[in-house]
Amino acid sequence: MAQYEKRVFSGVQPTGNLHLGNYLGAIKRFADLQSSYECIYCIVDMHAVTARWTDPTELRTHVREVAAAYIATGINPKEHVIFVQSQVAEHAELAWVFNCVARMGWLNRMTQFKDKAGKNSENVSVGLFDYPVLMAADILLYRAHYVPVGEVQKQHMELTRDIAQKFNIDWADSIAAHGFGEAYFPIPEALIQGEATRVMSLRDGAKKMSKSDLSDYSRINLTDSVDAIRQKIRKAKTDPEPLPLDHKGFAGRPEAENLVSIFAALTQTSVDDVLKEYGGTQFSAFKAALADAAVEHLAPINAEMRRLLADPAYIDDVLQNGAEKAKVIAAETMRAVRDIVGFRN
């Protein structure tokens, strides 16, 4: 493996229905980072079971689907690491240590938990509440510097930084005594970039595009056929006005803003440039251009995912190799953490 100075880590849950939001908000940028950094991309199956247990066969299928999406979008598994979280036990082990670092008050402020638990907060799993601590363990186990994620993960990234900071301060003397200098964990930075870091539902511009939305018309799945992509864009909710001439014209028009942002992200331009070209045009014409861009971009990924999924042995091989590489780094971190906090090695 080539030598890189800094490390990138990110993860996607194998909960099925991988969609355009996951792609534009996160996965699309994973491959871009591989020329500059050592990249570790995880399939977080332990996070996937926090909301509900999935049928085990279905969970394994969804794991392969995320792996196929990673490879199909250009991540090179020979040079970088693609692996499954549950194969590296140290994620759970470090999460336990961090459970005793993070404070209840910090977790009580997590808006994603409040959104997901809704009125049912007494009845959701402890794992759902603890989700962000496990996420911090994922990132810090590899002592990653950068984490490409969508906008919705910003608060979890702040929590990760707080946990790293508190660990470094609480254990400062022991960290120094064990020869790790002033701080053991780097403070990781979220990379929230691009024109579509928060892709909204195609049916309701106030809701984010989500794997769990009951309406399949709310999202474009990475496994959708060309016909399905075109139809979903044609049916996407809009308003009767033509496209605005500038950013200010998006006020009160979340659906318009969403479609323009998606187009900008797909065609690698900016929202301003899209408005220069399409401002004042009717949605019917713009939607046709958007459907062409989406198909041009997603059809090759879709075809490659299908090809890969037809060869599960290859995917499993990639994941096995990835787990072996990840375990080496994870074991080294846990050895250090055990020394630092006084557990036995």
Catalytic residue annotation: 116, 208, 211
Interface region with ligand TYM, contact rule CB under 6 A, candidates 8-16, 69-77, 119-127, 246-254 = 8-16
Q: Collect all residues with Cβ–Cβ distance below 8 Å to 166 and sequence separation of at least 6.
A: 101, 102
Minimum distance, C-beta of residue 26 to ligand TYM, in the bound complex (Å)? 4
Among 39, 77, 84, 150, binds ligand TYM (CB under 6 A): 150
Q: Collect all residues with Cβ–Cβ distance below 8 Å to 8 and sequence separation of at least 6.
A: 30, 33, 37, 38, 39, 40, 144, 145, 146, 147, 148, 191
Minimum distance, C-beta of residue 253 to ligand TYM, in the bound complex (Å)? 18
* Sequence letter at residue 306: R
| Residues between 37 and 66 with contacts to ligand TYM, criterion CB under 6 A | 44, 47
Detail the DSSP E strand segments found in 30-156: 38-43, 81-84, 146-148
Residue in this structure with the two tokens 């928060």, named with its chain if needed = 198
Among 147, 164, 262, 295, binds ligand TYM (CB under 6 A): 147
Residue in this structure with the two tokens 């990673």, named with its chain if needed = 70
Q: Binding-site residue total for ligand TYM (CB under 6 A)?
A: 25
Interface region with ligand TYM, contact rule CB under 6 A, candidates 7-15, 221-229, 251-259, 264-272 = 7-15
Instruction: Please identify, using beta-carbon distances, which residue of 175 and 209 lies nearer to ligand TYM.
Output: 209
Contact call for residues 161 and 188 (beta carbons, < 8 A): yes
Residue in this structure with the two tokens 């958007």, named with its chain if needed = 290
Instruction: Please identify, using beta-carbon distances, which residue of 62 and 230 lies nearer to ligand TYM.
Output: 62
Nearest to 87 by CA among 333, 331, 327: 327
Minimum distance, C-beta of residue 279 to ligand TYM, in the bound complex (Å)? 24
Under the binding rule (CB under 6 A), the answer on residue 255 touching ligand TYM is: no
Under the binding rule (CB under 6 A), the answer on residue 34 touching ligand TYM is: no
| Residues between 155 and 214 with contacts to ligand TYM, criterion CB under 6 A | 156, 197-199, 208-209
Instruction: Please identify, using beta-carbon distances, which residue of 175 and 334 lies nearer to ligand TYM.
Output: 334
Contact call for residues 149 and 311 (beta carbons, < 8 A): no
Q: Collect all residues with Cβ–Cβ distance below 8 Å to 79 and sequence separation of at least 6.
A: 1, 2, 34
Instruction: Please identify, using beta-carbon distances, which residue of 94 and 175 lies nearer to ligand TYM.
Output: 94
Under the binding rule (CB under 6 A), the answer on residue 152 touching ligand TYM is: yes
Largest Cα–Cα distance of the chain, in whole Å? 68
The 10 Å Cβ neighbour count of residue 93 is 18
Interface region with ligand TYM, contact rule CB under 6 A, candidates 131-139, 301-309, 310-318, 323-331 = 131-139
Instruction: Please identify, using beta-carbon distances, which residue of 198 and 325 lies nearer to ligand TYM.
Output: 198
Under the binding rule (CB under 6 A), the answer on residue 135 touching ligand TYM is: yes
Q: Which long-range contacts (CB under 8 A, 24 or more apart) does 35-38 make?
A: 36/4, 36/6, 37/4, 37/5, 37/6, 37/7, 37/8, 37/145, 37/146, 38/1, 38/4, 38/6, 38/7, 38/8, 38/80
Under the binding rule (CB under 6 A), the answer on residue 10 touching ligand TYM is: yes
Instruction: Please identify, using beta-carbon distances, which residue of 141 and 334 lies nearer to ligand TYM.
Output: 141
Contact call for residues 246 and 325 (beta carbons, < 8 A): no
Which residues contact ligand TYM (rule: CB under 6 A)?
A: 9-13, 21-22, 25-26, 44, 47, 135, 138-139, 147, 149-150, 152-153, 156, 197-199, 208-209
